[in-house]
Amino acid sequence: MLSTWEPEVVRIDADILIIGGGTAGCQAAITAKEKNGELKVVVIEKAHVERSGCLASGVNAINAYLNPGETPQSYVDYVKKDTAGLIRDDLTYTIGERLNNCTRRLEEWGLPFLKDENGNYVARGRRSVRINGERIKPILAEALRKSGALVLNRVVATNYIVKGRKVIGAFAFSVRENKFYVIRAKAVICATGGAAGLYKPNNDGSARHKMWYPPFNTGTGFAMGLRAGAEMTSFEMRFIALRIKDVLSPTGTIAQGVHAPQINARGEAYLRNYVDRSTYMRLYATLKENREGRGPCYLDITGLSEDYNRILKEAYLNMSPGIVLKWADEGVEPTEKPVEICGSEPYIVGGHGLAGYWIDSRRRTTLEGLYAAGDVAGGSPKKYVTGSMAEGEIAAEDAVEYIKNITFESIDESLIKEEIQRVYTPLIRSDGYKKLGFSPDEFEERLQKIMDEYAGGISSYYEVYEEKLNIAKDLLKELQKDVNKGYAEDLHDLMKYHEVIDRILVARAVVEHLLYRKETRWRCYQERIDYPYRDDEKWLKFVNSIYDSCKDEIKILERPYTNGENYLVTWLGSGMSGCKD
């Protein structure tokens, strides 16, 4: 059994460090280099930027674009209405201001847009346009390469380097080489995406990663922020996607693209029974039909002409080929039978939901020197591709200005030794714990079972109540203790081990948030059956949290909803204060 592990320590100084090479991360790096080509901008990505993050397999529409007649304010109004009246207006508006410019940049870089005879984008709804986007991520990655930023692929971030209340860099390790990275930075932009894998997924075994959200977005950015003491918001608003059963392909291509109705097994268009047809209510209505014996539920495309068989196949091959393979396997054309739909497992994301870092309109977090953008940034749902790009731009623009008067901080060597020990210990003890069976995969199964059964997973129709949540809270604390007995067989396994550690901490925050909000504001997403009604008088406000790593406690805070006012974070050297103007 190994007693030590001695990786090569690689030290890098970066003017701006970007953690995560997805949509927001790529755009942040490109923007920073455009603003000042002399800056050293470093991007670390645990996969490979060419096919990583939410865009890895492509998309067939830009779902945040202001078609003629739409404005940034109408975009804010739409998002607010679909989110039960609780969003960060300031964040959403600043995204809305940049959506169309970000869209044009994608076209300039070579992304194919569908156009009409007049050369205008082909709309897919009021805030969406059609694209052939299978190669959207390689296109972004090429723009990133041309920017001159340094990209470190297959490198996993483990923790921020923190001095007082200031983030001065990050630690990371390679999953391909025996290298440990110590990266000093004048500013850090977190763009690591949201969290999947907290709950038991729709499919088991070798198909467990056949899900809607990327299974490799594991909440690392959230967990790093929690451990560093950053303020988080709205983890109780989980996002649950209404998707095509078995393959979890998106339904918008059919529902929006060809206006197919949702029907039950009797052929009834059941959404007609609902005045509120918001995103979460369409999911809630589907579950209700199933629970009351009128399911399964479907998207009905049987009335479409045969021309749509080709249209639908092409659209899905641009982003989710699984459904096309399923049609081929069944020997049917898309329009020959309805498409069965279901809910996914819950995800914690800031791109579709509210969850993430508590930030101001400059995308500053409550820790000096740290920004957040994309799915990891809270408060502004429905940002999608171009909204994430917009946040990457905003964060980078402010970071470029911020670092003008910032110098590199020294790093205590003892911190480096401690983090190396923490990161590599699972490899060191591999031989001793193998027989006990505490592998990362087994810890993941245990986590997902707890969350599924006691914190509102698929098996409990996403419903939660206090007694079960308290059980989840206790079980997660025990699981967190037991993880220290785990092992990793190699560097890839080590990455999975740290992903589980991060997921457990994020899951604990989710449970605390679900316990605190004593109303039901978002059906299914946050369904408190012991508090079944929406209560604007008491709960039209944000539920935030800060993790105290010394006490191992998650402290809950309330932040008011200000209806359009800006929130500001003031960085004060080693201290911090938050206020709104």
- The residue type found at 433 is Y
Rounded Cα distance between 340 and 202, Å, is: 14
Question: Facing residues of 18 across strands?
Answer: 43, 189
Q: What region, left, alpha or beta, does residue 573 occupy, with left being phi > 0 and alpha being psi -120 to 50 degrees?
A: left
Q: 343 with 200: CB under 8 angstroms?
A: no
Q: 285 with 270: CB under 8 angstroms?
A: yes
Q: Tell me which H or E stretch contains 91.
A: helix 89-96
Helix (H), strand (E), coil (C) string for 20-60: CCCHHHHHHHHHHHHHCCCCCEEEEECCCHHHCHHHCCCEE
| DSSP letter assigned to residue 364 | B
Which candidate in 130, 135, 282, 559 is catalytic? Answer: 282
Instruction: For residue 333, count other CB atoms closer than 10 A to its CB.
Output: 16
- The residue type found at 382 is K
Note if 294 is an active site residue.
Answer: no
Rounded Cα distance between 563 and 306, Å, is: 48
Instruction: Name the 3-class secondary structure at 277.
Output: coil
119 Cβ contact partners less than 8 Å away, ≥ 6 residues apart: none
Find the Cα–Cα–Cα–Cα dihedral 390, 393, 399, 402, rounded to 10°: -90
Q: How far apart are the first and last CA of the chain?
A: 58
Rounded Cα distance between 210 and 248, Å, is: 7
**Alpha helices of 376-487 — where are they, by DSSP H?**
384-402, 413-428, 430-433, 440-454, 466-482
Side-by-side strand order, sheet with 356-357: 356-357, 232-233, 541-548, 553-560
- The residue type found at 57 is S
| Cα torsion 343, 344, 345, 351: sign | negative
Q: Which residues are catalytic?
A: 282
